[in-house]
Amino acid sequence: GHWLETNMGIAPNADNKPDLLGFEQKKNSNKITWGDWSASAYLFSKQKKRDKVHMTTPAMKRGDFIRTFGTPNPKKDGRFSWSGKCFPKYGEHWNNCGQRLLFDASDNLRIEYSFKEDQRDYKGGFPDFIKNQPIVIAFWERSKLEDHVNNKFNQNGFYLLKKNEEGIYTNICFGPPIQFDTFKAHLKSGAAILDSGIYEGNARNYSPFRSGNRSWKELVTEEY
């Protein structure tokens, strides 16, 4: 990605804006990222952030959050992470760890936890305040997600750089401007996922939203 940016004359940056001439640059791969967009608030966020989104349950320390809602990875010496199978896919269904991901009536994106729906045998030791009813453990305001999508994709659109069979970049594909409703539809249909990577020992809230190669190709309108 950085090599391509350099060769396209794009200076490395973390700006939430299009890469070049109002277009967002993407390279062809199995999973293509919309953006790494942390939640407006998590259960471990500071009081001010939780108050802003009306998250009324008590806060948890970040490490306790990961050990409560995440699962251990035996390949990483039992290190807990909130990723993989424990992290919810979009829909009404509760996963085995009692979590689900949904838009609410105002198009805010929420991750909810239900102690009742949690199938893990060690859940009895969890804090009492999460046992009574489903609670919100992460919350993305619509305005935050809409700004991210509009700033990156709703200027002139995007272009996708493709390699040939020898691994040489030979094609450029263009897609139109993308608005929040398109992003939302991709998430609801499962064409886009929230691919969380939050884990113990790292303070970064890895929260990349991604779609598969096929979904991006369906958005392409021109190829050269």
Per-residue pLDDT of 194-214, as tens digits, reads 999 999 999 999 999 999 999
Report pLDDT for 169.
Answer: 92
Q: What is the mean pLDDT of residues 124-152?
A: 95
Q: What is the mean pLDDT of residues 60-77?
A: 95
pLDDT exceeds cutoff 70 at 55: yes
Cα 77 to chain centroid, rounded? 26
* Both structure tokens of 56: 């009324």
pLDDT exceeds cutoff 90 at 11: no
> How much of the chain exceeds pLDDT 90, in percent?
87
Q: pLDDT tens for residues 139-194?
A: 999 999 999 999 999 999 999 999 999 989 999 999 999 999 999 999 999 999 99
> How much of the chain exceeds pLDDT 70, in percent?
98
- For Cα atoms 149, 46, 129, give the angle at the middle one, nearest 5 degrees: 105
pTM (two decimals): 0.92
Q: What is the mean pLDDT of residues 90-99?
A: 97
The interaxial angle of helices 180-189 and 142-153, nearest 10 deg, is 110
Report pLDDT for 9.
Answer: 86
Report pLDDT for 179.
Answer: 96
Alpha helices in 56-179 (DSSP H): 62-69, 142-153
- What number of other Cβ atoms are within 10 A of residue 29's Cβ? 14
Q: Coil, helix or strand for 189?
A: helix
